[in-house]
Amino acid sequence: MFASNLLRLRRERGLSQEELAHRADINRGYISTLENCEAYVGLEILGRLADELGVEGAELLQKTAKKAARPK
């Protein structure tokens, strides 16, 4: 859930991995590994990312509701 939420929120805010990494003071490659489920995020980094994305840390960990199918 974290990886998909991070990717979705970053894209919704029009941020590149590089820009988000710079703002959160972390390595861009680490953002990539997080978004690709290749690493676990620690609480400190989760907090920095949440702050830069303007959300509560818990929102990055929550399961997102599936969009309802459009009626035909």
CATH number, domain of 50, equals 1.10.260.40
9: amino acid identity, one letter: L
- 70 falls within a domain: no
The model's pTM is: 0.84
Enclosing domain of residue 30: 2-61
User: CA–CA separation, 69 vs 23, rounded Å?
Assistant: 36
- 24 falls within a domain: yes
* Contact between 50 and 43 (Cβ < 8 Å): no
Which 8-state DSSP code applies to residue 41? P
Among residues 62, 72, 46, the alpha carbon closest in space to that of 1 is found at 62
Print pLDDT tens along the chain (72 aa). Answer: 999 999 999 999 999 999 999 999 999 999 999 999 999 999 999 999 999 999 999 999 998 745 444 455
Chain segment 24-36, per-residue pLDDT in tens: 999 999 999 999 9
- 68 falls within a domain: no
Total tally of structural domains belonging to the chain: 1
